[in-house]
Amino acid sequence: MSINRKTKQNVKSAYLFPGQGSQKAGMGKDLFYASPSAKAVFEEVDHALGRSLSKLIFDGDDTEITKTVNAQPAIMAVSLACFSAFEEGLSENDTQKPIFVAGHSLGEYTALVVSGVIEIGHAAQLVQERGRLMQQACDANPGTMAAILGLEVSDVETITKATGTYISNINTPQQIVISGDKTSVSNALKLASSVGAKKSIQLHVAGAFHSNLMETAQPGLVEMIETLPFKNPTIPIISNCTSDPLYSAEEVKLELVDQITSCVQWNSSMNKMIDAGVSHFLEIGPGSALSSMTKRIDRSVRTTNISNMGDIETYRKYLND
C-alpha cells in the first residue's frame, strides 16, 4: 500500500547533522555549483573566516581537510550548504518543520544555526576556534579513541574504570567509543577482547575527544562564546550531554562547554526522539554514519540521507509520488 503525500507530510521528523569523521575532499562541490543558497553559505563562511575554506574543501586533499582546525568548520559549512539547498529544492507545500534537531558532537553546531540560535558566520568562527582549542588540548595531552563493538555499556564502564580511560560516545547499544592516552586505550582494547567484544576499531583522530584530556579547551571556548550573540532555539535541540531538549540560549551555551569533555549520549538522544513520536530522521550533511547508527538503534523508523543534489531530487520525487 502506498503512502499518500499528505500522510508523508504529517509524519513527525527530526533533522540530524554529522560530526567529525564525515569529511572528505571534494564534498559539497556539486551543491556550490547547483544551488544559489548553498553557494551563499560557502561564501558567507569564507568571509567570516577570512580565508577560502571552500577552495580547500573542493580542491584540497584529504590530509589537509582532516586537520581538526579545517575539518570542523568544513563539515559544518557543507552540512549547512546541504540544508540550504535542501530547503531551496522543496516547495512550501513540501516543507515540514522538524520537531527536533540534533547533531553528533560537532554536528550540534550545525543544529544551532538551523534552529536559529546563532548566525552562520558566527558559528563558523566559533567552530574554527573550537577546532584550534581542541588541537591545542590534543598537543598538550596526547590521546586517541577507539570503538568497541558487541559489549554492553556496563561492560565498557568496567573496562574504562580498570584502565583509566573514558567513555566518549555511546552511539548505539553496542557501539561505544572510548578515549584516553594511547597506552591506556591499547590496554582497554585488550581487556575488551578478552571479555567478548566482537570487534575493536582504532579511530584516526587527533586526540581523546569528549574526555577530561580536553579540559584545557574549555576556558577559551567560554571566552569565545561570550563574545557572540545567542538566541533561543526556534526548534528544540537535543543535547549531546543529557539527551534532553534545549530550549534557551543559556542552556545551549552551557551545553557547548560541557560537550568538550562529556560523553555524547547519541543512543539515548535517538531513543528520546523516537519516544516523542519521531518516525523519520533526515541526516543532512556529508556521509551516512548517523543513518547507519539509527538502523542499529531502531529498524522501524525511516531514515533519509541528504548529502548532495541527487539526494535532494530523490527526496522531492518521494514526496510527490
**Residues forming the active site:** 105, 210
Q: How far apart are CA 144 and CA 165, in angstroms?
A: 10
- Spatial neighbors of 317 by CB under 8 A, at least 6 apart, are none
DSSP alpha helices (H): ranges in 141-285? 153-163, 182-194, 218-225, 249-259, 266-275
- For 145, the enclosing helix (H) or strand (E) is strand 144-149
* HSE-up of residue 204 (Cα within 13 Å, Cβ side): 8
* Cell triple for 9: 507530510
Reduced to 3 states (helix: H, G, I; strand: E, B; else coil), residue 59 is helix
At residue 125's C-alpha, the angle toward residues 124 and 130, to 5°, is 95
Contact predicate 252/246, CB 8 Å? yes
3-state helix, strand, coil in the chain (%, to 5): 50, 15, 35
Q: How far apart are CA 217 and CA 261, in angstroms?
A: 9
